[in-house]
Structure 1
Amino acid sequence: MSIASFLSGNFSHSGKKVRYAVVGLGDIAQAAFMPAVKQTGNSEITALVTGDAEKAKAVAAEYGVKAVYGYEQFSELLKSGLIDAVYLATPNWRHAEFAVPALRAGIHVFTEKPMEVTTAKCREIMAAKEESSAKLMVAYRLHFEPATLSTIDMIRRGELGEVNIFSSAFCQMVDPENHRTKHGIEAGPLFDMAPYPINAARYVFSDEPTEVVSAVGMRHPEAGLGDLDDTISATLRFPGNRLAQFVVSYYGSTVDSFFAVGTKGSVQMNPGFGYGMP
Structure 2
Amino acid sequence: MYLDVRRDWLAYVDEIPRALVAANAVATLDALEQSPRHHHQKAQLLFTVRGVVNCEVDGAVWIVPPQCAVWIPSGLPHSVFGSGEVECLSLFIDPPDSANLPKDCCTIAVSRFFRELLMRANALPDLYDVDGPDGRIVSVLFDELAVAPVEDLCLPIPGDPRLKKLTDLLIAAPADHASVAEWASRVALSERSLSRLLADEVGMSFGRWRRQLHIVLALRRLSAGQSVQAIAIDLGYESASSFVTMFRKMVGKPPGRYLLERNRLR
Report the TM-score when normalising by structure 2. Answer: 0.25
Higher helix share: 2
Higher strand share: 1
